[in-house]
Amino acid sequence: MKRSASDLHDLATRRPESLEAYWMPFTANRQFKKNPRILVAAEGMYYTRADGHRVLDGMSGLWCVNAGHGRKEIAAAVAGQIAKLDYAPAFQMGHPGVFALAARLARMLPGDLDHVFFVNSGSEAVDTALKMVLAFHHARGEGGRQRFIGRERGYHGAGFGGMAVGGIAGNRKAFGTPALAVDYLPHTHDPARAFTRGEPESGAELADDLERLVALHGAGTIAAVIVEPFAGSAGVLVPPKGYLKRLREICDRHGLLLIFDEVITAFGRIGAASAAERYGVIPDIVTLAKGLTNGTVPMGAVAVRPNIHATLMAADLPEVMVEFAHGYTYSGHPVACAAAHAALDIYETEGLFGRAAGSAKILEDAVHSLRGLPHVVDIRNAGMAAAIELEPREGRANERAFEAYLRCFERGLLIRTTGETIALSPPLIATPEHLGEIVDIISSVLKTLD
């Protein structure tokens, strides 16, 4: 059935007639469809609900809309690209935007992370990085290095590889034996350091558990270590000072590759272009997504150091043979590249990474003002991200935080919850007034919870 432009606009701005056909991701579908939360528009710091009420975005959508909603520069770039070149084959073909974007990301990232492979999401970025690692060791004659070291409570996407190295048991238990050999470092959250502002002063020694895993499995069997610089999806678990540097040192000592999953932390979230830059630690591989296009078009990327790229390019193969047998139909899609270029322009011209570094202290002071309110057992923050952990109700895990989520939405605020933790990740354009309003609403909600 052909629809007119007005029909399409009406379809996008009213409550759906039926909710049954759509199987929603990472959602309590039964609960949602009894009382749906439908968003129909967004601009700046706000969403608009189907009933016309505005909702302050305390989560940058889903950790991704770093420059705020409705950016006309991105919309114009996307429309122009669709009109000029809507699609180009990703295999054996290229287009100007993708080469320019790869070079631009290489300049943005610290150190020598100067070769970039494009994908469509953070999950794909992680699975791609894991395959790169295995291919790298195979090409060097060390094919026995097949074990990965993840971290408890880490999240690395929903693909089979990312699910295996992720340290959240609930994301794996229904899907059988992991596809990879994996062991896990302990997480960095210590309840004894509750209400720490920023990075805990102690705890770097938690990285030393990697030495135990090396001794247990043998360095020659371990391919790489993968961690989020701070664990976002588990509730903003912040690394202790010196922890990431110590991981780097241990990896170097035993010939292990180090992967930073920066799907959340890159593009200003931590007050810098990347957490690698912010913490002064250069990994061998970085995964990117979310803020890369300001959440407008699905896109991810994997950046690697020269030795990894050069090793795979030097494979003993005829020149016409593919060196790395991996990729996606939409890798480096022209429209996604246009959105990414426009987003990066905004970040640069508006100085949003530096602005985020300045706003981080305001967010820190605001969220820590919640200490002492009912049920609050910890508050954590890193850059423009924060978490308020609540005491669970006896025998009813996750219920209290989810109730806070629903009540915040009713009062015009979008937050996220993970377990019993409220997570915040506001757009980098947030003013002190926006941050104050976010915390005021959370405060008022917490005071109503039993």
For 346-373, write each residue's pLDDT tens digit: 999 999 999 999 999 999 999 999 999 9
pLDDT range class, residue 10, cuts 50, 70, 90: low
- For residue range 221-249, what is the model confidence (pLDDT) as tens digits? 999 999 999 999 999 999 999 999 999 99
Q: For residue 255, give the CATH number of its domain.
A: 3.40.640.10
H/E stretch holding 318 reads none
Say how many C-beta atoms besides its own lie within 10 A of residue 406's C-beta: 14
Over residues 33-45, the pLDDT tens digits come to: 999 999 999 999 9
Give residue 299's pLDDT.
98
Residue 5 reports pLDDT greater than 60: no
Amino acid 330: pLDDT:
98
286 lies in the same domain as 414: no
The whole-number pLDDT of residue 128 equals 98
pLDDT at 8 over 60: no
Are 406 and 310 within one domain? no
312 and 360 belong to one structural domain: no
Are residues 293 and 164 located together in one domain of the fold? yes
CATH number for position 382 = 3.90.1150.10
pLDDT at 16: 81
Last residue of a domain, one of 291, 316, 349: 349
pLDDT value of position 306: 98
Q: Are residues 115 and 132 both part of a single domain? A: yes
Whole-number pLDDT of residue 308: 98
Could you read off the pLDDT of 81-134 as tens digits, one per residue?
Answer: 999 999 999 999 999 999 999 999 999 999 999 999 999 999 999 999 999 999
Domain boundary residue among 349, 379, 397? 349
Residues 87 and 161 occupy one common structural domain: yes
Residue 15 has pLDDT above 80, yes or no: no
Distances (CA, A) of 151 to 35, 61, 352: 36, 26, 30
How many domains are there within the chain?
2
Element (H, E) at 17: none
Residues 284 and 390 in one domain: no
Q: Are residues 249 and 383 in the same domain?
A: no
Least Cα distance to 270 among 365, 151, 359 occurs for 359
Kindly state whether residues 104 and 147 are assigned to the same domain: yes
Please name the amino acid found at residue 205: E
Does one domain contain both 376 and 332? Answer: no
**Do β-strands 285-288 and 385-390 pair in parallel, antiparallel, or remain unpaired?**
unpaired
pLDDT in tens, 316-356: 889 999 999 999 999 999 999 999 999 999 999 999 999 99
Note whether 11 and 106 are same-domain residues.
Answer: no
The domain boundary residue, chosen from 322, 349, 376: 349
Range of the domain at 27: 5-67+351-446
Say if residue 120 is in the same domain as residue 230: yes
Residues 6 or more apart whose CB falls under 8 angstroms from that of 394 comprise none
